[in-house]
Copies of this chain bind each other. A is one copy, B any other.
Amino acid sequence: MTSNRVGPASDTPLGFAKHDHAGCVADALASAERHCEVEGLRFTPVRRATLEILLQEHRALGAYAVLEKLRESGFGSQPPVAYRALDFLVANGFAHKIERLNAFIACGHPGEAHAPAFMICRICEAVAEASSAATQGALSHAAKATGFTIERTVVEAEGVCPGCSEKADA
């Protein structure tokens, strides 16, 4: 079930690479389903469909883009439908919100309990998730020094991905 996507192990830190997409979607859905069962969470049709949409696209999607796809699949077409499903996914670590883009993306390392960091290409809009525990280090140090308690972090780098960088060179 655990398909081999980009590298030797699942700890390859990026999302700019090619991979077995169908497998990655199926895996993630199955994994989410299992996780919900264990945790007593309701992995309802809308929620499942929403996660599947994010996984299929494999990039950051605005809530209204998600909403339209949900509508196409026969679900409700009002904003709360999408926002509620997205909130559920984010709250349970199946997806993340990219604040810079006001958009959502499926989590690249679900279940692993992490403070995510992202690289956002401003040209092709691809978003890669780095499983950076390290990134938090400096911030958490500064926070400790001032007595600030961190509950959540937003770490997003905007720039140009390898692919677009190559094209620009040509």
Is A99 part of the binding interface, using a Cβ–Cβ cutoff of 8 Å?
yes
How many positions in chain A have a CB within 8 Å of any CB in the partner chain?
Answer: 40
Is A44 part of the binding interface, using a Cβ–Cβ cutoff of 8 Å?
no
- Once the chains bind, are A154 and B158 in contact (CB under 8 Å)? yes
Residue of B nearest to A145 (CB): B13
Residue of B122, B134, B154 near A154 (CB, 8 A) is B154
Residue of B nearest to A121 (CB): B148
Kindly provide the distance from the CB of A168 to the nearest chain B CB, expressed in whole angstroms: 10
- Once the chains bind, are B134 and A138 in contact (CB under 8 Å)? yes
Contact residues of A: prevailing secondary structure: mixed
- Copies of this chain, complex-wide, total 2
A121 to B130, CA, bound (A): 25
Residue of B16, B139, B161 near A155 (CB, 8 A) is B139
- Once the chains bind, are B146 and A157 in contact (CB under 8 Å)? no
A23 to B142, CA, bound (A): 26
Residue of B nearest to A152 (CB): B158
A60 to B68, CA, bound (A): 33
Residues in B neighbouring A132, C-beta threshold 8 A:
138-139, 142
Residues from 143 to 163 in A contacting B, C-beta threshold 8 Å: 143, 145-162
A139 to B130, CA, bound (A): 8
Kindly provide the distance from the CB of A140 to the nearest chain B CB, expressed in whole angstroms: 8
Most buried by B among A128, A148, A152: A148
